Amino acid sequence: MVVLGAMSFGLALLLMGFDGHEAMALGPRGPLVEEFWDNMRRYALYALTVSTGAIYTILQPLVELLKNPISAVLILVIVGGAIFIVSQVVTAMVGLSDFSYDYGY
């Protein structure tokens, strides 16, 4: 989801830079707005490459572990438990659970 968002944001920034007009931010001697959008495009591309590299680096050892049936079951239990714990924490943070904490004082 993050990768898709970064790609669409980068594409939008890239398309915004192709209008053919030079916009002056602070007059003729000020910095050009095009330099700002070029930097924003490069930062979006940087975020895209870093996130895809991180995802690849995380998933590569997991793919190797999934080849063994015993470690595959262990990985699936760990991932399922992590998803359950994160969902419980987010549900409690948002206030959708019925849990109420009674203060001791």
Residues 48 and 5 in one domain: yes
Tell me the pLDDT of the chain (105 aa) as tens digits: 667 677 777 666 666 655 555 555 555 555 666 688 888 889 999 999 999 999 999 999 989 999 999 999 999 999 999 999 999 999 988 888 777 777 777
Residues written for the chain: 105
Q: Name the residue range of residue 93's domain.
A: 66-105
Number of domains in the chain: 2
Paired residues of 24 in beta bridges: 32
Are both 70 and 43 inside the same structural domain? Answer: no
* Residues 82 and 49 reside in one and the same domain: no
Strand ranges inside the chain, DSSP E: none
| Whether 44 and 72 share a structural domain | no
Q: Is 75 exposed, middle or buried (0-12, 13-18, 19+ CB in 10 A)?
A: middle
How many whole angstroms separate alpha carbon 7 and alpha carbon 50?
A: 12
Whether the full predicted model's pTM is greater than 0.85, yes or no, is: no
Q: In terms of domains, do 42 and 70 share one?
A: no
Q: Decide if 33 contacts 23 (C-beta within 8 A).
A: yes
Please tell me whether residues 72 and 44 are part of one structural domain.
no
